Amino acid sequence: MRLTLVRRLNTLSKDLFKIHPSLAGGSSRTEAVVALESTVITHGMPYPQNLKLALSMEAIITEHGARPATIAVMDGKVSVGLNEEELSDLAKSKSCRKVSRRDLSDTLSKGLHGGTTVAATMLLAHRAGISVFATGGIGGVHRDGENSLDISADLTELGRTPVAVVCAGAKSILDIPRTLEFLETQGVCVATIGDTSDFPSFFSRKSGHHSPCHVANVQKAAELIHIQNRLNLQTGILFAVPIPQEDEIPNDQVEEWLQVALKEADSHDVRGRDITPFLLKRLTELSNGRTLTANLALLRNNAKVGAQIAVALKKLQDSEHGSCSYSFRSTHASQTAQSTRLSAVALEDEEKTGRPVVIGGTVLDIMASWNSDFQVR
């Protein structure tokens, strides 16, 4: 079931989650929320550009009518929504972990700081009841991935976590056609927003490949999310937003710089999770800062589009069901899970009507025994 944000937050383990007051308060019932990742702060770019970016993305989301919720791990707790001091701590830190789904338990158990990747941010946003997440570009199948099997966990997370991810496509350092094929295998709806179905490649508006779906504007994007929620599909949606035309760098120019960076990465034996930050850093250097400028522009643009989608989606949900919607999301068929779902519906009904609600349950155990021997034929 799709709970209100406040109700979902109240079900989280208080010793593992720290919720910003602006999200835990009553106002989050009536406002759209957009999740933001934190690896762009901890591993994406240097200080102070990273802090300025984080603050500007949050300001853009607020300006367009939604609440920002930057997600990170702080002192062994998942923080949903950060204050300015916490953002500054992340931006200045030299020891933050890069945290994907596989790293969450270990990072929390050791009480560490961590910047959450696209995969981890999706997972945690969903746990907190947030449906829309804005980022720069997703990870994907790396070049030569058919041999190395270096495939980002972002892709499998999109295949199992129902969050809409707004991005500028896959990073241009990746194998884009194989990334799109992998997303198809995972059952992920990929849609370009705008006047074309061309799939963008981060710094460039086109990659030479097409998204399987296309939506004309943010309203249509919100409608797509709303329908997917009603269908109870347990997969994410990838919305590809082309970088603003004035900030675009031609694909062939990016490829020229990238080939140099790839050779350097190979000669220095850079592998795994270190390859993306290494390549992006070298692209910034080789382009004399042009790729960094483009990166900042597309991140801010995605924050704006994400906020617009979240606001449109909230209006759709409110117009259909008021303050809550009854779309069952659990795939578990056990009696206990069913009881939990019905209890939550009742609590939301109490919230709307003010009527007291009594919830009860019964458990029946049956044991059977035979007094004589028998044979099964």
**Given this model, what pLDDT does residue 42 score?**
94
Cβ atoms 167, 211 nearer than 8 A: no
Q: How confident is the model at residue 275 (pLDDT cuts 50, 70, 90)?
A: confident
Burial class (CB in 10 A: 0-12, 13-18, 19+), 270: middle
**Given this model, what pLDDT does residue 148 score?**
83
Q: Is the pLDDT of residue 13 over 90?
A: no
Tokens of 89: 């701590």
**Given this model, what pLDDT does residue 21 score?**
87
**Given this model, what pLDDT does residue 331 score?**
36
Percent pLDDT > 90 in the chain is: 67
**Given this model, what pLDDT does residue 256 score?**
94
Domains and CATH numbers, the chain: 5-249+291-321 (3.40.1790.10)
pTM for the model stands at: 0.81
Summarize the confidence of residues 195-217 as an average pLDDT: 95
Comparing 86-100, 124-138, 354-368, which segment has the lowest mean pLDDT? 354-368
**Given this model, what pLDDT does residue 34 score?**
98
Summarize the confidence of residues 33-49 as an average pLDDT: 93
Q: Is the pLDDT of residue 343 over 50?
A: no
Q: Identify the CA nearest to 13 among candidates 113, 132, 122, 104.
A: 104
Active-site residues, by number, are 37, 171
Residue 359, C-beta contacts closer than 8 angstroms, at least 6 positions apart = 342, 343, 346
Report how far residue 100's alpha carbon sits from residue 171's, in angstroms, rounded to the nearest whole number: 17
Summarize the confidence of residues 346-372 as an average pLDDT: 58
